[in-house]
Structure 1
């Protein structure tokens, strides 16, 4: 049997790791890798001969595409072309999903992968529900948070870990976890407890998880949130209830006295786990996670510093000008999703901590912008009914 041809969009940390991992699987092979870089500028890229700047070349030589560019504007354009060509798309791009992913839900097959926190929570939910658990909390664990990190510190950590300055900054200032938990809320039929999430400090998962469970129970709906636990492993967790007739068994299984039970996954291995989702798709397993047709939660742009008319924001995610904050779309109509904030020019003064609206900036036209306008319009119409 011929190996399935896997195309990849992106040439960053995830793409490199995935290419190396796929080399160990005889039934899967990397066919083409789409990059916006000039090909001669990637001399150390694994499988350099597979690089292309042509999306049609990628489409022609692929049976499935993994999109892991981390770029909303570019990712939206490329995924539109891939779905038009009827190719299945597996993403590791939560930024894409929470910004424009809902636009594509009924336009083809696109799913987030296992490996990053949202996909790992989705598979943990599948397992939990199959055992009869009823989730109350979809939780993420963050070890460190600084809403306004310094450039020199971020440059040091980017070099130390071998990832981009932009991504290190987005991890540190909380933007990334707000994006991840917004996708989890939309995709797993949950909600957020408040704008910006609770982000409860805790010494361990079990203690903090119970606090979140109490909050969810009082609110009357499952919530997507996180705990701030210094030096914790990279973990995700679900807090759930179960039928009273299983209480003694669950106690014997070391899950405690109830009524809340915490199920934990103490790792997420990014590109190594994408392969599980690729196989899921080829075996007909269906979509693992998307943002839903009508999302409730978006990630707004919040100013980190005073922004003055004429200031240019090159990229919102991983910026030293703004950060992301989860919010209810229906309550913040007109806000600028941080995934759209690219090559934007400030039109009027924006104070630190202020939520940025489209009236505050000029932003280039793009398919991503068109998609968001349609999504927001659908949410606004739904909220009126």
Structure 2
């Protein structure tokens, strides 16, 4: 294993917020990546931080104050704390990676990071989707970068979409490969599977009920100007990604030339992503056939893996060295993920957010929600229902009592008001 010189001032200094399964991988990757150095880690459970640092034999100390934190970082150790604001505002941090799955606290950490003149890399897809346009706007005004992170499905898809543009093919579809789906999953039913995978129960629930998938596809849609052709996407079952042409009628779905997001269920290669490109040039089609890509005019390009934390440091380096984001919601809120009831919900019940017992999220086109605005799944936490909602029913903003001044609602409203959303 390559080890870092902890005191090398030329290295990009990283602070990581959230040391769950993803955060642990980020600490490891920062430790072995040339040109970067992790100087601060944060989690509400500091034992997670000290465990990974001890495992990697990295000198560290627990910071009991902001002043102590800066003393620790300046003597070449990693500072450990439980308050993300300390990391966001630490003078010895160049780039903050937000890797928690929180929303309200993470929003505060993100704002503090950008307002402190630091670059922000989001491995928190929840706040990325909810507040991404606003955070990108604040970053620009502060002369720093806020960006989604490479390594997750939407990051890998961005590379593939860029390739199609470079090659002169039209983008038809950006696709995900989902292993399994149970809309009714909850933190109790998921325990056996989560324990096998060593995952947090709520996080594993959000994977299983499809919310995370929908969030990921909404992020790439908002970055690249894609839509969904139906709420929640189609998600047909397939044995292999190469069966995709038997699953979708691309002539019909792409008749207006609007690229869209979707997924296939249960297909190999598990963990992969794919794009469908279109080419009607006779010469190129002849050559693509020669290159074993089929007769066209629709073509499948897939990557059989995404590597999460392993690929993340490229985004850090791009933000810090080149001052450019890897992935941002350039198209504003093209899509959003809205809350649907997992079971019959009664008036007065308090919703419990992503990965809970009450609701799952489905992607929808944002402009189609103006007449009856849905409740974004990221805001469906600690708000009470005003009326009954049946199982699989869509939960609207009017269905819940909420405080518009609450930070998450207020930030979402600010994001909605940005010029990027004017044409949506």
Q: TM-score, normalised by structure 1?
A: 0.92
In structure 2, the partner of 1:106 is 137
Question: Match of 1:200, SS?
Answer: coil
Answer whether contact 1:33 1:58 (CA < 8 A) is retained. no
> Which structure 2 segments of 5+ residues have no match?
1-8, 62-78, 140-144
User: Which residue among 53, 63, 68 is the counterpart of 2:99?
Assistant: 68
Q: Quick one: which of 113, 119, 127 aligns to 1:82?
A: 113
SS at match of 2:408: helix
Q: Describe the shift of the 1:173–1:106 C-alpha distance in structure 2 as closer, same or farther (beyond 3 A).
A: same
321, 324, 333: which one aligns with 2:358: 321
Listed one character per residue, the Cα deviations across residues 192-222 of structure 1 (whole Å, up to 9, x for unaligned) are 1111111122222122156263344224210
The answer to whether the Cα contact below 8 Å between 2:315 and 2:325 also exists between their aligned partners in 1 is no
Residue segments in structure 1 that go unaligned for 5+ positions in a row: none
Of structures 1 and 2, the larger Rg is shown by: 2
User: Does the alignment pair 1:11 with 2:33?
Assistant: no
Q: State the SS of the aligned residue for 2:255.
A: helix
User: Corresponding residue for 1:373?
Assistant: 413
1:268 counterpart = 2:299: no
The answer as to whether partners of 1:201 and 1:208 remain within 8 angstroms in 2 is no
**Which residue in 1 is equivalent to 2:51?**
44
1:340 CA displacement: 1.3
User: Which digits, 9 at most, give the CA deviation of each residue in 1:334-360, with x for residues without a partner?
Assistant: 321111122222232222122112332
> Aligned match of 1:28 in 33, 36, 47?
36
**Aligned CA distance change for structure 1 residues 203 and 160 (closer, same or farther; 3 Å):** same
Distance 1:62 1:296, change over 3 A: same
Between 1:228-237 and 1:87-96, the stretch displaced more is: 228-237
After superposition, the Cα gap between the structure-2 partners of 1:43 and 1:274, relative to the gap in structure 1 and judged at 3 Å, is closer
**Cα distance 1:42–1:362, how it changes in 2: closer, same or farther (>3 A)?**
farther
Q: TM-score, normalised on structure 2?
A: 0.84
SS in structure 1 of the partner of residue 214 of structure 2: helix
Q: Deviations over 1:29-55 (max 9, x none)?
A: 101113233x35755242663322342
Q: In 2 relative to 1, CA 65–42 (structure 1 residues): closer, same or farther, beyond 3 Å?
A: closer
Alignment partner, residue 181 of structure 2: 145
CA distance 1:347–1:266, shift in 2 (3 Å): same
Q: Give the whole-Å Cα distance in 2 for the aligned partners of 1:217 and 1:370.
A: 36
Q: Quote the offset at 1:133 in angstroms.
A: 2.2
Relative contact order (alpha carbons < 8 A, sep ≥ 6): 1 or 2 greater? 1
3-state DSSP of counterpart to 2:183:
coil
CA deviations over 1:63-85 (Å, ceiling 9, x no partner): 11111112222222111111111
Deviates more, 1:299-308 or 1:142-151: 142-151
Return 137-146 or 207-216, whichever deviates more: 207-216
For 2:132 and 2:320, the matched residues in 1 are separated by 21
The DSSP-based 3-state class of the residue aligned with 1:261 is: strand
- Residue 184 of structure 1 corresponds to 220
C-alpha RMSD over aligned residues: 2.3
